[in-house]
Amino acid sequence: MVKIAPSILSADFTRLYEEILSVSTADYLHFDVMDGVFVPNISIGLPVLESVRRVTEMTLDVHLMITEPSRFAVKFAESGADIVTFHVESDEPEAIARAITGVHSIGKKVGLALKPATPADAVLPYISLLDMVVVMTVEPGFGGQKFMTEQMPKLKALREMIEAYNPRCELEVDGGVNPETARICVENGASVLVAGSDIFKQADRAARIQELRG
Ligand code: DX5
Ligand code: ZN
């Protein structure tokens, strides 16, 4: 069954603990980090991750939307992330490879994310090393945007790449997921769905998580 990863970017940060409890039936907790350079927004970082780690045993799926992720990837892994994802466009190939090795060396999982304009082939050099590939179905930076259906051929191509080279790798979709777009993602090979605004605007989050699983 597809895994669901609520994005706390859409949570009420004044009540973050209760918000996390309200989505605890999900599989992962998605944690968006933005530096105002790689994307045109700033969100949350290491001190918040450390606090969240202390209050939940959920798998923390940390999505770094930052430049030069090799400077920080290991730090996020040490601060409580279970999976550290950064963008394949965010640095030179040697630095991306170094960040992957660094996170793995402390026993955590690694994902690589692709912006909408980035072709599937960009992750091919790394595919055998990865635990997750993340297809952005919005321009990264903000919650609540419209799902980009035109990313589905790329999602399907990545599913084929994963089956060919690394079948245990997860394939996550991030952006604009709701019960309708969730179905399309699963049909095209997704194994994990991030959903922020769609879950956190509901009164009954557990019911919505169940609905998103299909
Ligand atoms: C966008 C973030 C997403 C965001 C998704 O840059 O990476 O994780 O929280 O939000 P929704 O589900 O509202 O599109
Ligand atoms: Zn994200």
Active site residue 174: yes
Ligand 1 nearest-atom number relative to CA 41: 6
- Under the banding of pLDDT at 50, 70 and 90, the label for residue 206 is very high
Question: What digits encode the pLDDT tens for the residues 105-135?
Answer: 999 999 999 999 999 999 999 999 999 999 9
Q: What is the residue with the minimal CA distance to atom 9 of ligand 1? A: 143
- Distance, in Å, from the CA atom of 144 to the CA atom of 172, rounded to the nearest integer, reads 17
CATH topology of domain 3-213: TIM Barrel (3.20.20)
Average pLDDT for 163-192: 98
- Distance, in Å, from the CA atom of 84 to the CA atom of 175, rounded to the nearest integer, reads 18
Mean pLDDT over all residues of the chain? 98
The full set of domain ranges for the chain reads 3-213
Catalytic residue among 27, 32, 82, 121: 32
Q: Which ligand is nearest to the CA of 193?
A: 1
Ligand 1 nearest-atom number relative to CA 144: 13
Q: Strand order in 170-174's β-sheet? A: 3-6, 192-195, 170-174, 132-136, 109-114, 83-87, 59-65, 28-34
The pLDDT value given to residue 97: 98
Query: For ligand 1, which residues put their CB under 6 angstroms from it?
Result: 7, 9-10, 30, 32, 63, 138, 140-141, 143-145, 174-177, 194-198
Question: What digits encode the pLDDT tens for the residues 45-85?
Answer: 999 999 999 999 999 999 999 999 999 999 999 999 999 99
| Spacing, Cα 30 to ligand 2 middle (Å) | 7
Which chain residues have CB less than 5 Å from ligand 2, an ion? 32, 63, 174
Ligand 1 nearest-atom number relative to CA 147: 14
**Alpha-carbon distance values, 137 to 94, 142, 152 (Å):** 26, 12, 9
Entry pTM: 0.98
The pLDDT value given to residue 177: 99
Q: Which ligand is nearest to the CA of 140?
A: 1
